[in-house]
Amino acid sequence: MTIDDGPASDRVRLRRGANNGVYERQAVLDVLDAGLIAHVGVATDDGPIVIPMAYGRSDDSLYLHGSVANAALRAADGTDVCVTVTVIDGLIIGRSPFHNSMQYRSVVVRGRARRLQDDAERVDALRRVSNHVVATWDQARPPTADELRRTMVIAVPLLEMSAKVRTGGPVDEPEDLDGRHWGGSVPITSTFGDAVPSPDLRPGVGVPSSVAALDGTAVHGLTTRP
Amino acid sequence: MTIDDGPASDRVRLRRGANNGVYERQAVLDVLDAGLIAHVGVATDDGPIVIPMAYGRSDDSLYLHGSVANAALRAADGTDVCVTVTVIDGLIIGRSPFHNSMQYRSVVVRGRARRLQDDAERVDALRRVSNHVVATWDQARPPTADELRRTMVIAVPLLEMSAKVRTGGPVDEPEDLDGRHWGGSVPITSTFGDAVPSPDLRPGVGVPSSVAALDGTAVHGLTTRP
């Protein structure tokens, strides 16, 4: 991986493992698109809190959603947050534990969270969150006004962000290469299985094409989504 | 899931989705043991930062490690941190996007991070981090004094923690159950593949038994590890 552009700010500049740093915008977005969930860090009076959340994105914003009563999202509004998305592709096993690592793709986005108020903007964002992993929005019952009222949507600008991408095997000490210890990697593959209908599903209702198409496909193999 | 005990503190009490809350100690530890990486939240002068990290645990502490130059770990020492471990087991697709969710197991640990100074304690912690996913420690070249000097180890008490476990399908609106929209879930399975030797591996060095045993096994299926 090469660093194509510099980081947008010093606080997303990679220090450790800087040779695995990725700042080129499309490459960072590709990692975001391959991720399943985000880990969202919010400062609270009780110390930082990190919550796993679904997410989606537009060209310029990352979106999170939750109940209007969600304490972490309420605390996030108007403050600096950190949204981290990580995909683990495998284990890296060094001749020495010191050189153990993982094959991974990760993105860190830092920025001011803003609660969306405009209904059209909120619906657009919710559609993007829903469709991030699988495009179900147009095949589901549209949200009601009451459901929208009970949902908070938060936007974080896709400005200050960087990625790290680690591939390959261990980088061991030269003096270990002739030794008796093994070094290498173990791939991890995440795969969607066959759709399981809800026990209360009305007979005759078929699986949506977008859902049926997932069966047997790699979860993190996609780098672009509709 | 039932709540067997109360939370250890109010700041790890679940508010949203409280019916999926798990406070029983062994059940929380089982989720920690099934996880691959942690997302560690640290407060900095620049706002919160969330970094993916390997981890391990003893009966009473969770351990993180990194370079002595690691800025996030250095900032963490002596401060309140949040360590979140999440396993995604599937997608939940509601009749309405409002009821989309995921099948997941997650743990949040909050507490004061403490940098370990004692060498025996540090080596024990590093062994636990190394062995968390696969027991490679005893099959690798032991760490040198120099490698240990360049490694920082952080402990977080396993006291204030809670888990959330979501299984099953969507909980849809009663009026949608007779409708034309599908509801159900899509399982996600993560599997270890066949070990890949490092390109610079000396001919004749065999794959350690602990690594070879991973092939074809589920990444998150394990609930106890040595």
Predicted local confidence at residue A222, as pLDDT: 61
Local confidence band at A5 (pLDDT 50, 70, 90 cut-offs):
low
For A4, the token pair is 């194509």
Q: Are A103 and A187 in contact (CB under 8 A)?
A: yes
The reply to whether A178 touches chain B by the CB within 8 Å rule is yes
The pLDDT of residue A224 is above 80: no
Element (DSSP H or E) covering residue B16 = none
Q: Are A130 and B98 in contact (CB under 8 A)?
A: no
Q: Which has the higher per-residue pLDDT, A6 or B1?
A: A6
Give me chain A's average pLDDT, please: 93
Neighbours of B176 (CB within 10 A): 19
Q: How far apart are CA A207 and CA B106, in angstroms?
A: 28
Give the DSSP letter of residue B46: T
User: In one letter, which amino acid is A55?
Assistant: Y
Give the DSSP letter of residue A143: P
Q: How far apart are CA B49 and CA B41, in angstroms?
A: 6
Predicted local confidence at residue A6, as pLDDT: 73
Predicted local confidence at residue A9, as pLDDT: 86
Q: How far apart are CA B158 and CA B154, in angstroms?
A: 13
pLDDT digits (tens, 9 = 90+) for A145-196: 999 999 999 999 999 999 999 999 999 999 999 999 999 999 999 999 999 9
Paired residues of B106 in beta bridges: B86, B164
Q: Is the pTM of this model over 0.90?
A: yes
Residues of chain B numbered 122-151 and touching chain A (CB < 8 Å): 126-127, 130, 133-134, 136-137, 139-144, 147, 150-151
In the predicted model, what is the mean pLDDT of residues A48-75? 96
Local confidence band at B5 (pLDDT 50, 70, 90 cut-offs):
low
pLDDT digits (tens, 9 = 90+) for B37-63: 999 999 999 999 999 999 999 999 999
For B30, the token pair is 């089982």
Element (DSSP H or E) covering residue A23 = none
Neighbours of B196 (CB within 10 A): 18
Quick one: CA dihedral A223, A106, B216, A191, positive or negative?
negative
Residues from chain A that touch B200, judged by Cβ atoms under 8 A, are 172, 177, 183
Which string of DSSP letters, residue by residue, matches A29-89?
HHHHHH-S-EEEEEEETTEEEEEEE--EE-SSEEEEEEETT-HHHHHHTTSEEEEEEEEEE
Residues of chain B numbered 104-123 and touching chain A (CB < 8 Å): 104, 106, 108, 110
Residues of chain A numbered 26-55 and touching chain B (CB < 8 Å): 36-37, 39-43, 46-52, 54
The pLDDT of residue B114 is above 90: yes
Please answer yes or no on whether A91 and B134 come within 8 Å at the CB atom. yes
- Lowest mean per-residue pLDDT among A218-222, B157-161, B204-208: A218-222
Could you give phi then psi for residue A87, rounded to 5 degrees?
A: -115, 125
Q: Which CATH fold would you assign to the domain A10-187?
A: Pnp Oxidase; Chain A (2.30.110)
Distance in Å, alpha carbon of B113 to nearest chain A alpha carbon: 12
Residues of chain B numbered 146-175 and touching chain A (CB < 8 Å): 147, 150-151, 169-170, 172
Of A98, A130, A184, the CB nearest to B100: A130
Predicted local confidence at residue A23, as pLDDT: 87
Local confidence band at B9 (pLDDT 50, 70, 90 cut-offs):
confident
Local confidence band at B2 (pLDDT 50, 70, 90 cut-offs):
very low
- Lowest mean per-residue pLDDT among A17-31, A50-64, B4-18: B4-18
Distance in Å, alpha carbon of A116 to nearest chain B alpha carbon: 17
pLDDT digits (tens, 9 = 90+) for A96-138: 999 999 999 999 999 999 999 999 999 999 999 999 999 999 9
Residues from chain B that touch A215, judged by Cβ atoms under 8 A, are 186
The pLDDT of residue B1 is above 60: no
Q: Which CATH architecture does the domain made up of B10-171+183-212 adopt?
A: Roll (2.30)
Looking at chain A, which residue has its C-alpha nearest residue B209? Answer: A182
Residues from chain B that touch A188, judged by Cβ atoms under 8 A, are 36, 190-193, 219
